[in-house]
Amino acid sequence: MSVADSTTADIGLPEEKVAELAIDKNDNVEKESDDDEDGEEEEGAGEGEKTQKKKRKNKKKNKKKKKAGLGAAGQTSPPSIPVSQLFPNNSYSVGQICDYVDDNKYRTTSEEMRARDRLSEQKLVDLRRAAEVHREVRQYARSVIRPGMDLTTIAEMIENGTRTLVEERGFESGIGFPTGLSINHCAAHYTPNAGDFVEIKEDDVLKVDFGVHVNGHIIDSAFTMAWNDRYKPLLDAVKDATNTGIREAGIDVRLGDIGAAIQEVMESYEIELDGKVLPIRPIRNLCGHNIGQYLIHSGKSVPIVANRDQTRMEEGELFAIETFGTTGSGYVQEEGVCSHYAKTSDGQPRLPSAKKLLHSITKNFGTLPFCRRYLDRIGEKQYYLGLRHLVDQDIVTAYPPLVDIKGSYTAQAEHTFILRPTVKEVLSRGDDY
């Protein structure tokens, strides 16, 4: 989920009973022979006198290995099996591992760093579980999203799939933030409200941005889809720029330096549209961000253009590197009906309807972002006046759609990684991107 730079601007998966995963009870069991016998004869004290030693049976207990599970290959289509069943004993896949270099190279083999790494083991399990959900949901989504589908159907497909695979349980596990489905010149923060049935067209460029959390540890990852090959340079530009940002990131690295590297790569691309060659620009007032527990934006912004920010990345931090490329002006503004919101303070509203709504928001979402469809889903009705009051009182923050100039096209690519004491782990990396 994108964050605006504060220095410049701010297929339906039914919620059915999950099928049980059948695993042969005899799988992964190491069988050892229990019929080895010692039949050797011992010589007695007298010559020629032999005594037969009683045969002893070497009894060995069968040793059971931990069941590895079927992994992602055991998932159904559409996905319906919780990943905890596919990856028993918390055996979730480790993300892409990147060793530190230069002054931090020692961390890879340091015993002290390894000891510190073990202290965050449960957090890593949570993040890897969320990342596995993201990979499996998006793999299916990417295979079925096509022109003619409406955005509400797509959003509900992704969200219901996430709820099923992560075994949604309130603040224990669930959706990290509303599914962003932004088309063409709209770069971010668009999700359909009730009654919104905008359809994808053959020539559209669609950004898909969604999140998954386990115990408040959020995986934030996004990709762009287009059905016309002419947009390939735009999609390639953001992928390359995001991978560059990930490569440059590390402990003690300055945020401004990462932005400079991203900008250089992004601006090396161009695209031909309707006979005109256009430069691909980074959207300078959108950036990546660090992520806190239950906080999608936790204070640090990772620019995608060069600036003088001397803030450094630190050990243990979780970041989402996301880049946005555009054929337009390279600057977005708020425009259109708002759908994204998040509680950002603990103020006390005066309006009774706002008090009631705030209680419901706190109970169901806490500080996690939500949208109007989520309020509808938990049974809230006629809430708009109360919601407007909470926004006016700065208790809830509204995040309207962010758009470049009309007629332009924007693309996005995003991954979440953690700066472990020993290595950098790109948690959301998959075979797709």
* Residues involved in catalysis: 209, 220, 289, 297, 322, 414
Residues contacting residue 81 through CB under 8 Å, at least 6 positions apart: 18, 19, 21, 74, 75, 165
State the CB neighbour count (10 A cutoff) for residue 364.
17
DSSP three-state, residue 73: helix
**How far apart are alpha carbons 236 and 413 in whole angstroms?**
9
Helix (H) or strand (E) holding 194: none
Peptide bond before residue 82 is cis, with ω within 30 degrees of 0: no
The residues pairing with 341 across neighbouring beta strands, listed in sequence order, are: 370, 398
**How far apart are alpha carbons 295 and 299 in whole angstroms?**
9
Residues contacting residue 68 through CB under 8 Å, at least 6 positions apart: 28, 88, 91
* Helices 151-166 and 121-144: angle between axes, nearest 10 degrees: 150
Evaluate whether 402 touches 391 at the Cβ level (below 8 Å). no
The angle formed by the CA atoms of residues 384, 389 and 391, to the nearest 5 degrees, is 95
CA–CA distances in Å: residue 145 to residues 63, 73, 135, 185, 269: 46, 21, 15, 19, 27
Residue 396: burial class (beta carbons within 10 Å; 0-12, 13-18, 19+): buried
